[in-house]
Amino acid sequence: MAVTAKSLESDLNVRQATDPSTAPVKCEEFFRFRFDTESASVGDDGVFQIHIESIGPRAPDEIWFTSGAVTHSTVGSFRIAECEDFLAAHVAIDLDEHTDFGDLTTQIYRELLRVTHERGYPNLVRVWNYFPGINDGEGDREVYRQFTAGRALAFGEFAYQGEALPAGTAIGTDAGTPFTISAIATRDRCRMVENPRQTSAYRYPREYGPRSPSFSRAVVIASPGGSRILISGTASIVGHQSMHLEDPVQQTAETLRNLDELIRQARQEVQADEGADGMPVSGSLRVYVRRPEQIGEIEAALRSTLAEDRSLVFLRGDICRRELLLEIEAAGGI
């Protein structure tokens, strides 16, 4: 069941730092993502560092804007940014060999949910998760399954239902990098969008772990500047089955079909006009690639389908299923 979106008072926009032509008018920088594995002392409270390698040229900062005043502070473990309708939160935690990853995930998500509730932004709409060794371990001891179970426990404690789950990304990073969570929450509920080509992740069968993943395929935010879509990490999955094993070109094509269907569903639900390009009108498009040596095939497959001027950011990351070679997420106006 979809949640009817309430129009918020503030806008939410995203662009790459190298694309000033799409800079929103009368908006303030809310926060920015910086993709860099080098540990650095970040003086700007609004910089959220993701410890991940770029493939090819260094990825530019990804800047999120909102209308109205923005404040920054630290609450517990989280650095946060706030404006009238939105809160963004970020935490990076160093891991050691004795870490129980499921328990740590539950602990951090409990804190995230407590912070967002107490500050008046109880609705998570987007969460990014990055941690090393995502595919390490066998069966239910796999790190990703431990993460999924820990997150589900925290959501269950806060009585989250499937229709209210945020869009999500979970990507494996290199050994020695921290467990990083970044999130956006809102004061009012937004619309969750599912993909009819895919089983909803929160309804996956037991073969994928003891607890189903706690995320929706996309979330649509209604704002004064128009509808914005936040699309989860999307891969070559139809139903709940991984498709086109060991074929990066066909996995790219299947992923794009899933993204197109999500956009179509979202536009239908908000009664937006169909565009020639299935991707968001403006915004960001991140591509996570497991094997950097396959980047040529994957980029060629993307460029043959997307608009010529579409900006892409390629990042080296492991996907939640070992057989998946890439994952794509997107955000922008529809």
Is 6 among the domain residues? Answer: no
pLDDT digits (tens, 9 = 90+) for 110-135: 999 999 999 999 999 999 999 999 99
Residue 11: name the closest of 64, 50, 67, 63 by CA.
Answer: 67
User: Looking at residue 7, what is its pLDDT?
Assistant: 55
pLDDT of residue 67: 87
pLDDT-flagged residues of the chain (< 50): 1-5, 161-162, 276
Specify the pLDDT at position 162. 44
What is the DSSP annotation of 55-78? SSSPPPPEEEEESS--EEEEETTE
Closest among 55, 12, 49 to 34, alpha carbons compared: 49
Dihedral in degrees, nearest 10, Cα atoms 271, 277, 283, 287: 120
- The pLDDT assigned to 276 comes to 44
Element (H, E) at 300: helix 295-303
Whole domain around residue 195: which residue ranges? Answer: 12-333
**What integer pLDDT is reported at residue 1 of this predicted model?**
31
Residue 204 lies in a domain: yes
For residue 1, being part of any structural domain is answered with: no
Q: How many CB atoms lie within 10 A of CB 129?
A: 24
Identity of residue 285: L
Q: Does residue 326 sit within a domain? A: yes
Nearest to 269 by CA among 322, 334, 320: 334
State the pTM of this model. Answer: 0.93
DSSP 8-state code for residue 23: P
Counting Cα atoms < 13 Å in the Cβ hemisphere of 26 gives 5
C-alpha closest to that of 316 among 294, 284, 291: 291
4 lies in some domain: no
Question: Per the structure, how many domains does the chain have?
Answer: 1
Q: Has residue 265 been placed in a domain?
A: yes
As a whole number, the mean pLDDT across the chain is 90
Domain with residue 68: its CATH number is: 3.30.1330.40
Distance CA(79)–CA(226), nearest Å, equals 28
H-helix or E-strand spanning residue 182? strand 179-186
Query: Left (φ > 0), alpha (ψ -120 to 50) or beta: where does 159 sit?
Result: left
**Measured between alpha carbons, how far is residue 85 from residues 89, 118, 119, 128, 225 in Å?**
14, 14, 11, 19, 14
Say if 20 falls within a structural domain.
yes
**E strand or H helix at 89:** strand 86-93
Element (H, E) at 256: helix 248-270
How many Å apart are CA 287 and CA 268, to the nearest integer?
A: 26
In a domain, 296, yes or no: yes
